[in-house]
Structure 1
Amino acid sequence: MTLSVSFGGLRSFVEVGRQGSIKRAAGELNVTPGAVSQQIKALETHFGVRLLDRGTREVRLSTDGLRLYAKIAPAFEQIDDAVQLFDGRRPGPETLVISTVPSFAACWLASRLGRFTAEHPRIEVQIETSVQLADLSGGSTDVAVRHGSGSYPGLDAIRLFSPQLIAIGSPNLLTDGPVPSPADCLRYPLLQDRDRTDWSIWLEANGVKASQSAVKGPSYADDALLVQGAIAGQGLAIVRNVYAASALVAGRLMLAIDAPVPTPAGYFVVTRPDRMNVPKIAAFRHWIMREAGVA
């Protein structure tokens, strides 16, 4: 029996269901949002039902849309998985899409990726950054590196390392060298994280009762920017040691005091269990574990 429904239309519908957005689905499919909308409308005309409930900023699957999605989405996942099995055998380059948080990409991953590409010249790395864990159940993301507890239901997560909170500052600000005690950091301008909590956590872990002054100062939503503010001499900062390591080695930053505080969370490389052995993913997992000293 010949399929009278457009395969591309069904693919677009599944991607809209995964992404919850016509615009994001279009990005994944490398087409325009208008093309995706037209394909969905053609499906709705063909089936005689409404497949999407369209809102101002997002779309949701209608009742009929959910029924259709439940039937065809697994089939497209099987197709994607089957294609991935042969990616490593293609004569040309293949793309590995890595999702991580902006700070980790800027301060740790980017400077090391040259070693991965030297080992695997046929794999073209694409870094995507977001605060939330990327949807590994579909779409283009192959592997993620995330900071958290390691609890990612349905996914395989391997701990790479657990960071420490350290106090840093520019040598131009700390002209007299490291401060004598953690409490002496409060004599300097302080730079804050997004939630204005890290200074209080660090001080109290070092036996200093945090005062109101511990939460004052400009705040940065991203730790990479916080590090840059400290390098510029704007104040002292509390950051995870992984983000300041290269600047410390280069002498652009120094420890305000050698009093690191361990953190319970860690950095994890996260993948789908059924895709762990895809050659490009297995290669990256092995490489990053070796870089982190756990392989």
Structure 2
Amino acid sequence: MYGRMSKHPSLSGLRTFNVAARTLSFKRAADQLGLTPTAISHQIKTLEQALGASLFERRVRQVELTARGRELADAIAPAFRSIADAVERFSGVDGRHVVTLGAGPVFASRWLVPRLDAFWQALPDVDLRLHHSPMPVYQQLGQFDLAVAWGDGQWADMHIEPLLRIQVTPVHAPEVQSQAVRLEAPGDVLALPLLHQRNHNGWLQWLQHAGVDPAGAELAGSTFEDANVLLQAMLDGKGAGLGILPFVADDIASGRLIQPWPMTVDPGDAYYLIYNSRALEREPVRKVRDWLQQQMKH
């Protein structure tokens, strides 16, 4: 798309790119920077011309980084993180410290938010800034002091600590099971609309674990990208889904969701705490890391 670099890019252009790369949205970048999406697009195009490389693939409602864009994002994110850290050290108010944590929306809403009171009591001088984006957090670690990443834990060039293993189990709202559908054996769940996250693999894994041959089963139902939206669909009675334990434990205990069978499945992946090599040089970051690990023992 572009030839060789024609001139040095501006710092403001790189800053705009850094935010757009983190959010994967010109609109969200515009909101954060106090600009218009058109201005963001113009700055990105100017940066691409200066570098002689295409940085984003433009889609209808979103943008994605090209290989060169990912390379640039990985290179400049730590620099902007260092600048933010320096500004915090020089402009801190009343000895307060800011620690930035990256996490997915379901972990943040279902595990972290209920524990914020305990966090404030344990670390009253730390302001926690929570960020999430459509991209996996391990792909944008330079934006955070710490991050809680979901996956297999096999990521290069970062420190990785096991944090939380989960189990999944079928759950549904009370109104889903009608008199016409009696859930006695695990295979009976196939008579209900099934709710999926990203693909059918989760249900296939659980059915096989329960001794149900899913061959020929339609596994009909809706598929969701966002685990929080999937959970809301389950709570609204749209079908049966695989609930994540411990995230839905309170919903089961209160009767908002029903767990028809006690069997659970370990999906294989887990939550890990990840951070760059120099992150723990800051005492507030070490304190947040220790608090997260201590909470997992409760």
Q: Does 1:234 align with 2:244?
A: no
1:68-147 matched pairs, under 5 angstroms: 76=79, 80=83, 83=86, 86=89, 91-134=94-137, 135-137=140-142, 139=143, 141-147=144-150
How far is 1:93 from its partner?
Answer: 3.4
8 Å CA contact 1:203–1:209 kept in 2: the answer is yes
Task: Kindly report which structure 2 residues correspond to 1:86-235, keeping only aligned pairs within 5 A, or say none.
Answer: 86=89, 91-134=94-137, 135-137=140-142, 139=143, 141-174=144-177, 179-235=183-239
Counterpart in 2 of 1:288?
292
Normalized against structure 2, the TM-score is what? 0.72
Cα 1:119–1:14 shift into 2, 3 Å: same
Give the gaps of 5 or more residues in structure 2: 1-8
SS in 1 for 2:211: coil
Q: Give the letter for the 1:50 counterpart.
A: A
Aligned to 2:4: none
- The equivalent of 2:6 in structure 1 is none
Q: Give the Å deviation of 1:15.
A: 3.5
Bigger Rg over Cα: 1
TM superposition shift of 1:133: 3.1
Over aligned residues, Cα RMSD in angstroms? Answer: 4.1
- 1:278 aligned to 278, 282, 292, which one? 282
Change (3 A) 1:291 1:82: closer
Q: CA deviation at 1:118?
A: 2.4
Residue aligning to 1:249: 253
More displaced 10-residue stretch of structure 1: 175-184 or 204-213: 175-184
- Counterparts in 2 of 1:222 and 1:97: CA distance versus 1, 3 Å: same
Partner deviation per Cα, 1:4-56 (whole Å, 9 max, x = no partner): xxxxx864355456567595996698464759978x97x9xxxxx93454677
Note if contact 1:94-1:124 (Cα within 8 Å) is conserved in structure 2. yes
Q: In structure 1, how many angstroms separate the alpha carbons of the residues matched to 2:192 and 2:236?
A: 14
CA contact (8 A) 1:185 1:256 kept: no
* C-alpha distance 85-272 of structure 1, shift in aligned 2 (>3 A): farther
CA deviation profile, 1:66-125 (whole Å, cap 9, x unmatched): 9xx8xx969947953872894797525333222111222222222222211222222222
> How many residues align structurally?
272
Unaligned runs of 5+ in 1: 1-8, 44-48
Provide the secondary structure at the position in 1 that maps to 2:141.
Answer: coil
Identity %: 19
Maintained 8 Å contact 1:17/1:60: no
Shift of 1:228: 2.0
- The verdict on how the C-alpha distance between 1:88 and 1:109 changes in structure 2, with shifts beyond 3 A counting, is farther
Tell me what 1:50 maps to: 50
